[in-house]
Amino acid sequence: MKTRYLVGIYAMITLTTLMVYGTAQHLLRIGANAEPATQAKFLSQRLANGAEPAEIVTSYYANLPQDGATFTLITDENEKTIISTYRLNNQLLELPSGVYSYAKSHGEDRLTWQPEMGIREATVVMPYTSKDGKTGFVASGVSLRESENSLDALTLKLFMGWVLMMAVSSITFYPGVSKKS
């Protein structure tokens, strides 16, 4: 009888731990989109109001993997880069073309872009149309390194908590231990 209770407790502890992990992972990843989404929306609005790409994007560029800074990329309607603050090992990178078609048909695309093994970027792409009819896309992204480091630390803490809860449950409900009255 105690064994059935113990299995039930193990299952509840494990499921609760997995739910906490899944929720935390989801929130950390979704939260990583906040900065690029805000930046992309702001820049697409500026472009829609007539600003030129060179006026709103700095000449500084993020050189990954060293920097890990937020990047911005603006293209024309043919997906040709007009200006970009993004380099990988000092080389200009292009987003995959499917990203642009999705953003055009859905109003935006939020994705995890991995331009090279070990480099993952939370990236948001939005189309724009300027007052004079020019169209194109604004992409903004930020490294997922900090989010992933936070998730790694949380994973370790959750695992240690899970082990502790399983051990306490085992000691408390071990079927071979009888309580004296």
State how far the Cα of 177 lies from the Cα of 1, in Å rounded to an integer: 13
The model's pTM: 0.77
pLDDT range class, residue 68, cuts 50, 70, 90: low
Q: Which CATH number fits domain 34-143: 3.30.70, 3.30.1300, 1.10.10, 3.30.450?
A: 3.30.450
What is the per-residue pLDDT for 147? 87
Q: CA geometry: angle at 68 spanning 52 and 98, to 5°? A: 60
What is the per-residue pLDDT for 178? 52
What is the per-residue pLDDT for 181? 47
Query: In Å, how far are 18, 134, 166, 177 from 95, measured between CA atoms?
Result: 34, 20, 46, 62
Q: What average pLDDT does range 8-13 have in this prediction? A: 93
pLDDT range class, residue 67, cuts 50, 70, 90: low
Q: Are strands 86-88 and 62-64 parallel, antiparallel or unpaired?
A: parallel
User: Taking Cα atoms as reference points, which of 85, 72, 52, 59 lies closest to residue 123?
Assistant: 72
Q: Which helix (H) or strand (E) holds 106?
A: helix 97-106
